[in-house]
Amino acid sequence: MSTSVNFSVGDPFPMPILAQADGGMFQVDRNGIMFLLQLSHTDAIAVEAFRTGEIEFALTEVDGILFLLYRIDGIFKDGWGDAPLSLSLVKKELLPDEKSLVDPTIHLYLVDTNLKILLAQRTAHVPEEFAEIIRQNVRTQKEEPLSALAFQKKVSAVWAKKSSADLREMAAAAHTLPMALENAKLH
């Protein structure tokens, strides 16, 4: 990696945010696996829930599109959200390679979309089975790339038929990040 990106809570988020809407973004690039949650209305409870609370993840693939499903107690009262994975907006020089896919870590970021600042960050190691589903989808996307428009059409078609809860029911893998406070008590 030629340049280093500094993620510091309270500072402007160092990467461009293409969609200004509330919700999750799931990305894989040369720096690894990333989940970005963008919210326009946050409070201290939401920040702590993201930083230290239990977070549930699941993966479902529909029509070649991999959805990261997420549920975060303290932020969402309505259950599951989803974030589809696309390589179509990743710059060519930042596309993931086999070396960057080895690490089964997801980097989690909570960003205020109004102020464009990083509110909280966290890392999570996921089981190998979970990581392998992501790797396989990335390999397929690299071999058979979709344009941003084709990707959006496929996602819209899935969303027209399935809710996030429906997608969760179809999940091929799931993982729960435990409360970080419980882990801190053990040390």
CA-nearest of 122, 123, 118 to 6 is 118
Q: What is the DSSP string of 129-162?
A: HHHHHHHHHHHHHHHS---HHHHHHHHHHHHHH-
CA-to-CA distance for 147 and 144, rounded, in angstroms?
A: 10
Residue ranges of the chain whose pLDDT lies below 70: 1-7, 10-21, 181-187
Residue pair 36/18 in contact (Cβ under 8 Å)? The answer is no
Residue pair 98/156 in contact (Cβ under 8 Å)? The answer is no
- Whole-structure pTM value: 0.86
Q: What is the pLDDT of residues 103-135, one digit of tens each?
A: 999 999 998 887 788 898 999 999 999 999 999
Rg, C-alpha atoms of the chain? 16
- Check residue 166 and give its pLDDT: 95
CA-to-CA distance for 113 and 102, rounded, in angstroms?
A: 31
For 50, the enclosing helix (H) or strand (E) is helix 44-52
Q: Where are the alpha helices (DSSP H) in 53-187?
A: 98-101, 128-143, 148-161, 164-169, 180-186
